[in-house]
Structure 1
Amino acid sequence: MTRTKALAWAGGASYPLMVGLLVGGMTRASGTVHGVGALLAASLLAGVVRRRPLPALAMALLGSTAVVVGMPSSAHDSLAASYQGEFLSYLAVDLILGFIVATCTRRASVVAVAVSFLVQLLVTGGFAHGDNLTVNGVIALLAMSAACIAGLLRRERREHAVALRTQEVAEAVTAERLRIARELHDMVAHSIGIIAIQAGVGSRVIETQPAEAREALRTIEATSRETLSGLRRTLVSLRRAERGASASEKSSPLAPAPGPADIERLAAATTDAGVRVDVRRSGNERPLPADIDLSAYRIVQEALTNVVRHAGTGHCRVAIDYGDEELTVEVVDDGRGTTGSGSGHGFGIIGMRERVGLLGGRFSAGPRPEGGFRVAARLPLPAPVGVPVEAR
C-alpha cells in the first residue's frame, strides 16, 4: 500500500517535468505530436486521480494549457493540426473530469466542469480566428459533455448497486429476525403451555394426591430444562455470528437441533400435559436436511401446543410420511376446532406457514368437516444424489 502511494505521488511530481520537456523540446513538432505527448504525460497522474481527483484535474488543466500555448506557430497555422493538438491535449482533462463527476460530490463536479470548460474555451479561442472560435468551442463542449455523461452513468450505476446491497441487507436482517421470532415462539410457547397445565394440576392435587403433584413437578422441571437448553442453543448460535465471540464460546458444544426423530419425546411431554398423542410414520425413513428436519419438528410442536391450549380434547394424531419427493406432516385432533384460520390465537399458524413457504412447500390449517382441527404441511425434499438415470 505504501509503495503504491509512493509511486502515485512520484508520477504526479514527474508530470510537470514531462510537460516542461514537451513545451521546450518539440519546437518543430506538429500540433498532433504535442497533443499525443500531453495525453501520454497525463497518464502519470493516474495514481493521483484515485486519491486526490481535484488536484489532479488542476495539474492536468495547467499542463495541457501549457502544451497548447507552447505549440510552435506553425502548428497553430495548420487548422487540422491545431484542432488535433488542442483536442488531444485536453482529452486527459476530460477523462479526469468524468472520474470526478462519477465519484465526487455534485457541488465539486459542477465547479470542476465550469472551470475546465472556461479554461478550454479561453485557451482554444485565443488561437482561433473567425468561425474557428465557434468550432473549437463546440468541439471542447462535446468532448466534455461525453466525459460528464459517462461519469453520470457510472455514478448512477454505483448508487443503484449500493441501493440494491442495502435492500438485500435489510431483507436479510428482516428474514433473520422473523426466523428467530419463529424459533423462540415455537420453542417457548409449547413448553410454557405444558408448564402452565402441569402447575395447575399440581396446585389442585398437592394436598390430596402428593404422588401426582410430584409427577407434575418433575414434568415442569424436565420441560424447563429442555426449554433452557433450546434457548441456550439459539443464543449461542447468535453470538457465534458476532465478530467478538471468544474462542471458548466458539468451542462450546451444542446439542443438535431437534427433528422428526424427537417427535416421540415431544408426544410424551404432550401426553403428560393431558393430551394423548398417536404418532404414525410411513414411507422410507432416512436422514433429511437440517432445515427440513427442524421445520417439521417445529410444525408438529406448534400444532400440539394449539391442541393442548385450544382444542379441548384428550387425543390427537400425528402422521409423518417420508415420500420420494416430499415430507408430509399432519396433525389432526377431534376437539372443538376454531372459527377461523387459527391466527387469532397468536402467531403460531403464521409462523408455520412462513416456515413452509421458505422451503417452497404447501401448508394448510383449518377445521375439519367432521369436527376438530387439521394442520398439514408438505415439505419438498431434495433430489437424491448418485441415483443412476436410465437411458431412453
Structure 2
Amino acid sequence: MSPRIRGLRTFRAWLAARPQSADAVLALALLAVGLPELFLGDRSAVEARLFTAPDARQGVLVAAVTSALVLRQRFPLTTLWIVLAGECLLSLWGYVPSVPDSVAYMIAVYSVAAHRALAHSALGGVVALVGFNALLLAFPMRMTLLEYLTNNALVVGVWVLGRNLRMRRAYFTELEDRAARLERARGSDARAARIEERSRIARELHDVVAHHVSVMTVQAGAARRIIDRDPGGAREAMSTIEEVGRTALSEMRRIVGVLRTERDGQAARGELAPQPGLGDLGELLDHVRETGLSVQLWIEGEARTPSPGVDVAAFRLIQEALTNTLKHAGPQARAWVRLRYTAEDLTVEIEDDGRGTATIVADNGDKPGHGLVGMYERVALYGGELRIGPRVGGGFGVRARFPLSA
C-alpha cells in the first residue's frame, strides 16, 4: 500500500472518530468553494438590478450560516434555526443566494431527519418547508410553477433521504445487536453442552474406576487371608492389585478437570450397569441393521485391548455417529465402520454415503449439536484427534484416533 493511500485512510478514520471535526472540514470546504464564486463571479444584469452587491456583511453572514454545520449532528434543530434565520436576514437585506448558504440549508434539513426521532424530525421538516416557501415568496425574481414545485420537492426529498438513512442505520444496529445476542446464546449452549457431556463422561469413568477399586479391595482381602499359608498366591494377588491400581490411577488422571453436575438418585441407580465397550460392537451393529441401515465392519491390524476409558469412548463415538447416520443420511444409505489397530493407537472411522451434511446443517444451522460436542469432548479427554466432515463423493465421515498408551 502506497503512503498516499495509507495516509488517506488514516485521515478518514480520524474524521470518522471525530464527527464535529468532519463537519468543520465540510463547512470550510463550502466556504472555500462558495465565497470566491460569490465575490469574484460574474453577475448578470438582472441580478445587479434586483439584488444588493456582495459585501463584507454578506460574507460574514454566509460564513456564520455555514459554520453552524459544525453543530448539525449534536444539535440539528438548533442548526436548522440558525441557518433559517441567516437565510431570512440575507433575503431581508436583498443579497443574492450563494452556494454555501443554500447547501448549508439542505444539509441542515437532512441532519434534522437523520439524527432525530420521528417527532422532532417531522417538526424540523415542517419548519424547513414553511421557511423555504416564505423565502421563495420573498424572492424578487419570478419563477414558474414547475420551478416552484421542483424546489419544494428538493427540500422534501432531502428530508426523506435523511429519514431513510436513519432507519437504515437503526436496522443495521439491530442486526448487529441480534448477532451479538445469538453469539452469546451460541456460546452458552456450547458451554451447557460441554458441561452436560463432561458430567456424563465423569459418571462413566466413575463406574470404570469403581470397578478397579472393588477388584483391588477383594484382592487385598484375599492376600491378607492367605499370606501365611500360601505366599505365592498372595504375591500373585499383590501383582494383580498393582496392575489394577496403575490402571485406575491412569483413569483418575484423565478425569482431572472434568466437571460433574449433580444428578438425582434415580439417574444414579439407572447407571450402575457395566458400561459397554468395543466387545459389544456386534450387538450394536445388529440393532442398527434391524432399522434397515446397511452397516459393514472391518477390523485391520492385530486387535489390542485398550484401556477401559478408551473402550467406552470408542464405543460411544461409533454409537453417536451411527445414530446421526440413521437420523440424517436418508433412505438407501450405507455405512462403514473401520477399526484400525497399530502398536501406538486405535483409529476409528465411521462413514456413510447419504445426504447427512446438508441435513445436519439444515436442522441445526450454525449451532453444533450436543452429540458432536460430546464426540470432541470424549476424544480430547484421552489425548486423541477427531475429524468430522463431508466425504469426497458425498456422505459424511467421522475419524478419531485414540492413543493406546496411558
TM-score when normalising by structure 1: 0.46
